[in-house]
Amino acid sequence: MVLICPSMLSADPTRLGDELQAVERAGANCIHWDIMDGCFVDTITFGAQVVAAHRKISSLRFDVHLMVENPDKHLRKFAEAGADSIIVHSETTKHLHRTLGNIKKMGKLSGVALNPATSIDCLKYCLDIIDIVIVMSVNPGSSGQQFIQSQLEKIAELKQIIPETTEICVDGGINANTGRECIINGANSLVTGSYLFKSKDYAKAIQELRTC
């Protein structure tokens, strides 16, 4: 089954709790929290307190995507806030294997996100401790961007090297058409932002992505 992961970055910021519960009722599999610090990307978004507050109203998997410099200093805070998985950008840590190992020691799923220009080669010696790989199909920092077609090749390459149990997630510019292309090339998880939250029927949009 294709996992559908709504990104709260695209939700109505004045109604985050209501929006989260709405997509949960609509059939979402997990909730994607884009954590931005204004350094790795220009935008500043959610802190650990926001994740912790929403943990109280949802039983879905919480994926915390750290788009931050020096992610290691934030791992414990988000683990304690209720994250089920913590994803770091390979571009932000000098010691990726150690960072992933620390996430695993906290009892969380470990993930690596790759910017569009980043090769999959950096994963080669960490594959045994990676649970999720996120292929960024837009440049990180804002929602509503156009899907970068070259990332389909990256997805296909990933499919050839990672263990079958590792989740391949695609984040950015996802709709029914681009989602279909991602799945054909090997993805089994889609982060949806604008496509979902701008739709009038969340359940219909999620079903369209799941069956695309």
Type of residue numbered 43:
T
One of 34, 37, 63, 131 is an active-site residue; which one? 34
CA-nearest of 144, 9, 183, 135 to 208 is: 183
Q: What is the Cα 19 distance to its own chain's centre?
A: 18
Classify 123 as helix, strand or coil: helix
Distances (CA, A) of 182 to 23, 101, 139, 176: 22, 28, 17, 10
DSSP 127: G
72 is an active site residue: no
155 CB contacts (<8 Å, ≥6 apart)? Answer: 135, 168, 170, 182, 185, 186, 187
Q: By the 8 A CB rule, do 188 and 168 touch?
A: yes
121 is an active site residue: no
One of 37, 63, 131, 171 is an active-site residue; which one? 171
Q: What is the Cα 122 distance to its own chain's centre?
A: 18
Helices (runs of H) and strands (runs of E) counted in the chain: 8, 8
Active site residues: 34, 171
